[in-house]
A and B are shown apart, each in its own frame.
Chain A
Amino acid sequence: MSEDNPRGLQKFDVEQRLPVGFEKLPEEDQRAILRKLKDKEVDVMIEMTRAVGKSKVAENDLQVHNENVARLDHERKIFSSKISAETGSGKIDMQVRGGDTRFIVPILVVIGVILLALIAIFALR
């Protein structure tokens, strides 16, 4: 995991960010607001943990896919491989195309020469 990755659940510091006027409220109201805030923060953290889990699965899927592509036989073959991974914040669709594309060039040349020969025969007849 790189240093960019979130490091699990953080300590709640709701009390430090309470708005002005909070202390004027009756104690019962203060408790109710604090409870509600903490409940919502827990929901956010649960959602984030779930999202990070999905991203980790996606990371693994992409890694496995790219390793499999790297292991493919590239000699005189062309290939196309597609993967769709759902991440915590969205999705990633990846398509890798590769292989030995140079073997197409002689085929193109041969087809071209045949076409040219046909045109020449037709024109000179």
Chain B
Amino acid sequence: MGRRWRRRRYAAQHRWTHAQPASASERARAFVLREFFDLDGMALARVIQLYGREYGHGRRKYFESTFEKWRSGDVQPRRETQDRILHCVPRFLPPAKQFTILGFYIPEYLSHLVAASRVHNLAMEAVPSAFADAARRCRETDPKLDWFVRGVFSDAEIAAFADVARYTVLDRLHRSYGAVRLDLATATHHLAGVDAKIVMRYRLDELGGLIELNGVVPTLPATAFDMPSVPELVVRHREEYERLLLDHHCEMIVEQEAQVARHSVARLDLSILENAIASVSKAESLETSFEARGAGGTFEGTVSRKNLPALKAQLFGRIVVATLCTLGIVAGIAAAFTSKDLRGFAVCGFWIVLAAVPALWSWVIEKHREVRDYERGQSTRFAKVRR
């Protein structure tokens, strides 16, 4: 019985400070309320003094008389009281703990910036402008901080926080663009010489968009946007920001190594694919689908090659089918005209001739064009890339 009572008391005490909050706002709120109970006597006295000054003598008295009950969990403060505590407590926390509050907003702001830079399908030529637009949206997106956090930090401090976060995202985008450029150049180099029809798409890791790579692949410019310089940090939490930037640079060193490794493996795989296609006799038809993760995205595509005799046989087959069908239709109409019972069908047959016969022969012509293109080696292929 005693154990159950203790468990219930512990749960009550920690319900409003130790819940598992999801958003940055909830985490910051829970952190401040938890720190509130750990304040030393001097800081607590200053909090009480400010509380009385801001909300009046009566509420200060209630605060003083109920504080121990709040701490023990016997009484839970109402939302309004919690807001008053949030207003008073953060400014009396040590600087490191104040920065911890700001730190809760970093992942949320970063994911907000990354979400702002997402794109959907885009054309090959639009890749640099897509990165430039993403960078512009990053520069225009401000952090969303709660009122009790804004009250603690100066505008310069919040601007430094936003600059550091933006810098990390822009740096990531900048590196990602370089990786994408490298991947596309590699794919062009390996698949340009393949005598086959190639349909290829490239999914960007960082922006999430999909690029169709059918046709001419132009050389992309070296940079998509101007990188901002490392933020000037003349603020109170300079050391913490420098530490964040340092962590980012260290993460980027590892990411760059990973990109180089992924690119090397993708290059190897594309050359394996190229060799495998080359080793199949041209007398055989070939259908290949592939997927390769590069430095800045993933290639997906199909390579198809048909042999010329097979294509010609298909053309002959189509000619036979079209001829037989045309003759059949004409014979049917002739029979309908000669037969009294079937004369009504003759008119229908006339319309069939008008509709079906041209469709049949355009089907033949399509194959004939494919054969002719193949013979001339001028089919619309990725292989005809000009750089």
- Using a CB–CB distance below 8 Å, which chain A residues touch chain B? 2, 4-6, 14, 17-22, 24-25, 33, 36-37, 40-41, 44-45, 47-48, 51-52, 55, 58-59, 62-63, 66-67, 69-70, 74, 87-98, 101-102, 104-105, 108-109, 112, 115-116, 119-120, 122-124
User: Do residues B269 and A123 form an inter-chain contact, with CB atoms below 8 A?
Assistant: no
| From A17, A47, A88, A98, contact of B269 by CB (8 A) | A88
User: Do residues A90 and B317 form an inter-chain contact, with CB atoms below 8 A?
Assistant: no
Q: How large is the interface on B (under 10, 10 to 19, 20 to 34, 35 or more residues)?
A: 35 or more
User: Do residues A19 and B249 form an inter-chain contact, with CB atoms below 8 A?
Assistant: yes
B334 part of interface (Cβ distance < 8 Å): yes
Nearest first, the 10 A-B pairs at minimum CB distance are: A19-B249, A98-B284, A123-B335, A90-B291, A48-B261, A6-B264, A88-B265, A62-B276, A97-B285, A89-B292
Q: How far is the CB of A3 from chain B (nearest CB, A)?
A: 10
- Give the residues in chain A near B287, CB-CB below 8 Å: 94-95, 97
Extra 5 A-B pairs, beta carbons < 8 Å, given A4-B271, A89-B292, A92-B290: A21-B245, A67-B279, A94-B287, A96-B284, A108-B317
B123 part of interface (Cβ distance < 8 Å): no
User: Do residues A22 and B288 form an inter-chain contact, with CB atoms below 8 A?
Assistant: no
Q: How far is the CA of A120 from the CA of B328 in the complex (A)?
A: 8
User: Do residues B268 and A6 form an inter-chain contact, with CB atoms below 8 A?
Assistant: yes
User: Do residues A45 and B317 form an inter-chain contact, with CB atoms below 8 A?
Assistant: no
- Give the residues in chain B near A97, CB-CB below 8 Å: 284-287
Total A-B Cβ pairs within 8 A: 168
User: Do residues A112 and B320 form an inter-chain contact, with CB atoms below 8 A?
Assistant: yes
Q: How far is the CA of A111 from the CA of B31 in the complex (A)?
A: 83
B273 part of interface (Cβ distance < 8 Å): yes
User: Do residues A95 and B265 form an inter-chain contact, with CB atoms below 8 A?
Assistant: no
User: Do residues B257 and A92 form an inter-chain contact, with CB atoms below 8 A?
Assistant: no
Q: Which residue of A lies closest to B310 (CB)?
A: A101
- Give the residues in chain B near A102, CB-CB below 8 Å: 309, 313
- Give the residues in chain B near A33, CB-CB below 8 Å: 246, 250
B289 part of interface (Cβ distance < 8 Å): yes
User: Do residues B257 and A55 form an inter-chain contact, with CB atoms below 8 A?
Assistant: no
User: Do residues A119 and B332 form an inter-chain contact, with CB atoms below 8 A?
Assistant: yes
Q: Which residue of A lies closest to B298 (CB)?
A: A90
- Using a CB–CB distance below 8 Å, which chain B residues touch chain A? 230, 242, 245-246, 249-250, 253-254, 257-258, 261-262, 264-269, 271-273, 275-276, 279-281, 283-294, 298-299, 307, 309-310, 313, 316-317, 320-321, 323-324, 327-328, 331-332, 334-335
Query: Given A5-B268, A45-B261, A96-B285, A89 and B293 touching (CB < 8 A)?
Result: yes
Q: How far is the CB of A116 from chain B (nearest CB, A)?
A: 6
- Give the residues in chain B near A112, CB-CB below 8 Å: 320-321, 323-324
| From A19, A48, A108, A122, contact of B264 by CB (8 A) | A48
Q: How far is the CA of A113 from the CA of B285 in the complex (A)?
A: 29
- Give the residues in chain B near A67, CB-CB below 8 Å: 279
- Give the residues in chain B near A55, CB-CB below 8 Å: 265, 268-269, 272
Q: How far is the CA of A17 from the CA of B257 in the complex (A)?
A: 11
| From A22, A89, A98, contact of B266 by CB (8 A) | A89
Q: How far is the CA of A59 from the CA of B276 in the complex (A)?
A: 8
- Give the residues in chain B near A69, CB-CB below 8 Å: 280-281, 284
User: Do residues B320 and A109 form an inter-chain contact, with CB atoms below 8 A?
Assistant: yes
Q: Which residue of A lies closest to B302 (CB)?
A: A93
Central interface residue in B258, B272, B279, B298, by most chain A CB within 10 Å: B272
Query: Given A40-B254, A66-B279, A101-B310, A87 and B292 touching (CB < 8 A)?
Result: yes
Query: Given A101-B310, A123-B334, A4 and B261 touching (CB < 8 A)?
Result: no
- Give the residues in chain B near A116, CB-CB below 8 Å: 324, 327-328, 331
- Give the residues in chain B near A74, CB-CB below 8 Å: 283
Q: How far is the CB of A99 from chain B (nearest CB, A)?
A: 8
Q: Which residue of A lies closest to B281 (CB)?
A: A70
Q: Which residue of A lies closest to B321 (CB)?
A: A112
Q: How far is the CA of A69 from the CA of B299 in the complex (A)?
A: 27
Q: How far is the CB of B286 from chain A (nearest CB, A)?
A: 6
The 7 sampled A-B contact pairs (Cβ below 8 Å) are: A55-B269, A89-B268, A89-B292, A90-B269, A91-B290, A92-B269, A92-B290
